[in-house]
Amino acid sequence: MFQGETAITIDDKGRLAVPTAHRDVVARDCGNRLVITYNPFESGCLYLYPQQVWERVRDQVNKLPKAKKTSRVMQLKLVGAATFVEPDGNGRITVPASHRAAVGIEKKAVLLGMGDKFELWSEQAHHAQIRQTITDEDLSEDLLDLQL
């Protein structure tokens, strides 16, 4: 559904413009509703889910045992921090100040289309991720089977 990398500017009110290429899909397939929450696996990044995808993720995460530390962290970062947003008439969404501050997003960010969701990265964190290389120790059997 979503793919591509877009450099994004966050205005003084914390708004970003959804890229034109994705606006119709967000309106048509997402009911013009997205959910912003933390990426529980990497710092410097927020997830933006279409509402339907989010509901499936939320339900899976909420079924995890609350007494397990990792499950609780997932629940706090994904469900506890989730915020619904809708693009305004100019295709802009407001990213909550607390979310921006927690992941270090200031004026410049990068929006990545990742299939069923977007990832919103601080520019610095995204550049650091891109500079990382995959080493032999990182390769799993799943990655070895890819035909890149």
Total domain count for the chain?
1
Whole-prediction pTM: 0.89
Q: What's the domain range around 11?
A: 2-144
Q: What is the 3-state secondary structure (H, E, C) of the chain?
A: CEEEEEEEECCCCCEEECCHHHHHHHHHHCCCCEEEEECCCCCCEEEEEEHHHHHHHHHHHHCCCCCCHHHHHHHHHHHHCCEEECCCCCCEEECCHHHHHHHCCCCEEEEEEEECCEEEEEHHHHHHHHHCCCCHHHCCHHHHCCCC
CATH, residue 33: 3.40.1550.20
Q: What is the pLDDT of residues 27-43, one digit of tens each?
A: 888 888 999 999 999 88
Model confidence over 53-101: pLDDT tens digits? 999 999 999 999 989 999 999 999 999 999 999 999 999 999 999 999 9
